[in-house]
Structure 1
Amino acid sequence: MEYTYLGRSGLKVSRLCLGTMNFGVDTDEKEAYRIMDAAVDAGVNFFDTANVYGGVGARGKTEEIIGRWFAQGGGRREKVVLATKVFGDMEDPNDGPNAARGLSSYKIRRHLEASLQRLQTDHIELYQMHHVDRDVSWDELWEAFRVHIYQGKIGYVGSSNFAGRDLVKAQYEARSRHFLGLVSEQHKYSLLCRLPELEVLPAAEEFGIGVIAWSPLDGGLLGGNALNPAQGSRSVRNQARAEQRRGQLEAFGKLCRELGESEANVALAWTLVHPAMTAPIIGPRTLEQFQSTLRVVDIQLSEDVLRRLDEIFPGPGGDAPKAYAW
Structure 2
Amino acid sequence: MAIEALNAGRHVTCEKPMAGTLEDARRMRDAARKASRKGLHAWVWFNYRRCPAVAFAHQLVKRGRLGRIFHVRAQYLQDWGGPETPLLWRFVGKEAGSGAHGDLNAHIVDMARFVTGDELTEVTGAIEETFIKERVLPEGHGAAISGKGGRRKKQTGRSTVDDCLTFMGRMKGGAVATFEATRLATGNQNANKIEINGEKGSIRFDFERMNVLEWWDNTLDPGLRGWNRIMCTDSDAHPYVANYWPAAHLIGYEHCFTSMCSDILRVLGGRRSVVPLPDFEDAYITQRVLHAATLSARERRPVKMSEVK
- TM class, shorter-chain normalised? under 0.3
Structure with more helix by fraction: 1
TM-score, normalised relative to structure 1: 0.27
Structure with more strand by fraction: 2
- Larger relative contact order (C-alpha < 8 A, sep ≥ 6)? 2
TM-score, normalised relative to structure 2: 0.28
